[in-house]
């Protein structure tokens, strides 16, 4: 069953344009020029219950705008958005009670009070029964290992501790749908991993649908089976992470270690030599030729070890964004 259905969603912002310098400023006083910036440009997709989806794209791609349209923070310019059977921008209370948004750069916790006070406020706002509130806070604070800091003023917490408490505040009403916008931004690698583990566990335990945007590919690789790639407001890809490799990775690379030094010129006949040392080389070639090149290496060179590798997912996505890979 689809919990999110987006059909031809478009969101344009009217942006004021000014010529450079003082004269430009004077001109714009009398003749203001505007243009429509296409933040989201005719995208459609469906998301099923319990899915954990990665929403990825470079800065300004339209990820956050899409998320804001889905949460009801923005009115779409056109198109239809249906989330949990509601039109998000009507922001009806029964709808808001079923969703949550965590923004890595925004706080919902009260800065001057301990996190537990913000939780209590959310308990009242979301009308959570006392027993359920206690059970959820206990469970989440245990999962995130923050029991000892719930009574500490939020402004005195570290970024990582605060982020964990933000997550609890966002999940206290056990939302069916969770939007995570850059949840690991600014965190160290240990804390990033802890948050990833938690998100995965939460998804499994509560069968919640989670939509994640992140610039860290590790977040997406570890958490999401399905990804939606968006760039310049257009949907470039919607499918499994593994299929991205098949679809966009046009090359494979072979790392080979030789028993004795070989001539680089001979290797260049097989493909592009990306790295070359005394007895080690990395050769890149079209995917379909990788088996043939491997056989040729084993046949004609003193090979000690050989490894065929897919391109790194981060590199592939970087290529997609920079238009190097062919797009459909």
The one among 21, 23, 29, 112 contacting another protein by CB under 8 A: 112
137, 142, 144, 148: CA torsion to nearest 10:
90
Rounded to whole angstroms, the Cα distance separating 6 from 76 reads 11
Rounded to whole angstroms, the Cα distance separating 215 from 54 reads 10
CB of 103 to another protein, least distance (A): 8
Stretch that binds another protein, among 111-119, 206-214, 220-228, 281-289 (CB under 8 A): 111-119
Confirm or reject binding of residue 184 to another protein (CB under 8 A): no
Residue among 120 and 191 whose Cβ is closer to another protein: 120
Confirm or reject binding of residue 110 to another protein (CB under 8 A): yes
Map the chain to HEC letters. CEEEEEEEEEEEEEEEECCCHHHHHHHHHHCCEEEEEEEEEEEEEEEECCCEEEEECCCCCCHHHHHHHHHCCCCCCEEEEEECCECHHHCCHHHHCCEEEEECCCCCCCCCCEHHHHHHHHHHHCCCCHHHHHHHHHHHHHHCCCHHHCCCEHHHCCHHHHHHHHHHHHHCCCCCEEEEECCCCCCCHHHHHHHHHHHHHHHHHHCCEEEEECCCHHHHHHHCCEEEEEECCEEEEEEEHHHHHHHHCCEEEEEEEECCCCCHHHHHCCCEEEEECCCEEEEEEEHHHHHHHHHHHHHHCCEEEEEEEECCHHHHHHHHHCCCCCCC
The one among 2, 5, 10, 13 contacting another protein by CB under 8 A: 13
CB of 224 to another protein, least distance (A): 22
Query: Residues binding another protein: what is the number (CB under 8 A)?
Result: 30
Stretch that binds another protein, among 76-84, 116-124, 249-257, 311-319 (CB under 8 A): 116-124
CB of 7 to another protein, least distance (A): 21
Confirm or reject binding of residue 64 to another protein (CB under 8 A): yes
Stretch that binds another protein, among 98-106, 144-152, 193-201, 318-326 (CB under 8 A): 98-106
Confirm or reject binding of residue 194 to another protein (CB under 8 A): no
CB of 104 to another protein, least distance (A): 10
Rounded to whole angstroms, the Cα distance separating 159 from 164 reads 9
The one among 52, 61, 66, 68 contacting another protein by CB under 8 A: 68
Residue among 179 and 301 whose Cβ is closer to another protein: 179
Residue among 64 and 203 whose Cβ is closer to another protein: 64
Residue among 155 and 246 whose Cβ is closer to another protein: 155
The one among 41, 42, 46, 117 contacting another protein by CB under 8 A: 117
The one among 12, 86, 87, 120 contacting another protein by CB under 8 A: 120
CB of 322 to another protein, least distance (A): 24
Contact positions with another protein (CB under 8 A) in 234-253: none
Q: Are 317 and 309 in contact (CB under 8 A)?
A: no
Rounded to whole angstroms, the Cα distance separating 328 from 325 reads 10
Confirm or reject binding of residue 71 to another protein (CB under 8 A): yes
Q: Are 222 and 200 in contact (CB under 8 A)?
A: yes
Confirm or reject binding of residue 61 to another protein (CB under 8 A): no
Contact positions with another protein (CB under 8 A) in 77-96: 91, 93-94, 96
Reading the block at residue 202, the tokens are 């939460």
Confirm or reject binding of residue 108 to another protein (CB under 8 A): yes
Contacts to another protein by CB under 8 A: 13, 64, 68, 71-75, 91, 93-94, 96-97, 99-101, 103, 105-108, 110, 112-113, 117, 120-121, 124-126
């Amino acid at each position: 069953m689809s919990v999110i259905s987006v059909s031809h969603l478009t969101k344009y912002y009217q942006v004021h344009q000014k010529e450079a310098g003082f004269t430009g400023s004077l001109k714009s006083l009398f003749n203001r020029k505007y243009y429509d910036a296409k933040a989201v440009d005719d995208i459609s997709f469906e998301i099923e219950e319990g899915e954990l989806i990665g929403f990825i794209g470079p800065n300004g791609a339209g990820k956050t705008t899409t998320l804001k349209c889905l949460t009801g923070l923005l009115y779409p310019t056109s198109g239809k958005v249906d989330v949990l059977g509601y039109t998000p921008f009507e922001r009806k209370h029964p709808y808001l009670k079923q969703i949550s948004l965590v923004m890595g750069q925004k706080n919902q916790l009260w800065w001057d009070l301990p996190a537990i006070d913000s939780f209590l406020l959310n308990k009242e706002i979301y009308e959570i029964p006392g027993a359920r509130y206690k059970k959820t806070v206990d469970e989440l604070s245990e999962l995130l290992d923050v029991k000892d800091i719930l009574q500490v003023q939020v402004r005195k917490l570290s970024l990582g501790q605060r982020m964990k408490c933000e997550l609890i505040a966002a999940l206290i009403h056990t939302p069916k749908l969770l939007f995570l916008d850059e949840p690991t931004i600014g965190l160290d690698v240990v804390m990033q991993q802890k948050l990833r583990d938690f998100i995965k566990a939460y998804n499994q335990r509560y069968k919640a649908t989670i939509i994640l945007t992140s610039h860290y590919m590790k977040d997406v690789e570890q958490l999401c089976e399905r990804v939606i790639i968006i760039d310049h407001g257009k949907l470039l890809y919607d499918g499994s992470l593994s299929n991205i490799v098949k679809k966009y990775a046009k090359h494979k690379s072979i790392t080979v270690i030789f028993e004795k030094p070989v001539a680089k010129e001979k290797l260049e006949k097989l493909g592009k030599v990306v790295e070359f040392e005394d007895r080690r080389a990395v050769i890149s070639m079209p995917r379909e030729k990788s088996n043939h090149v491997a056989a040729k290496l084993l046949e004609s060179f003193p090979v000690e070890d050989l490894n065929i590798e897919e391109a790194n997912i981060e590199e592939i996505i970087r290529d997609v964004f920079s238009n190097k890979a062919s797009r459909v």
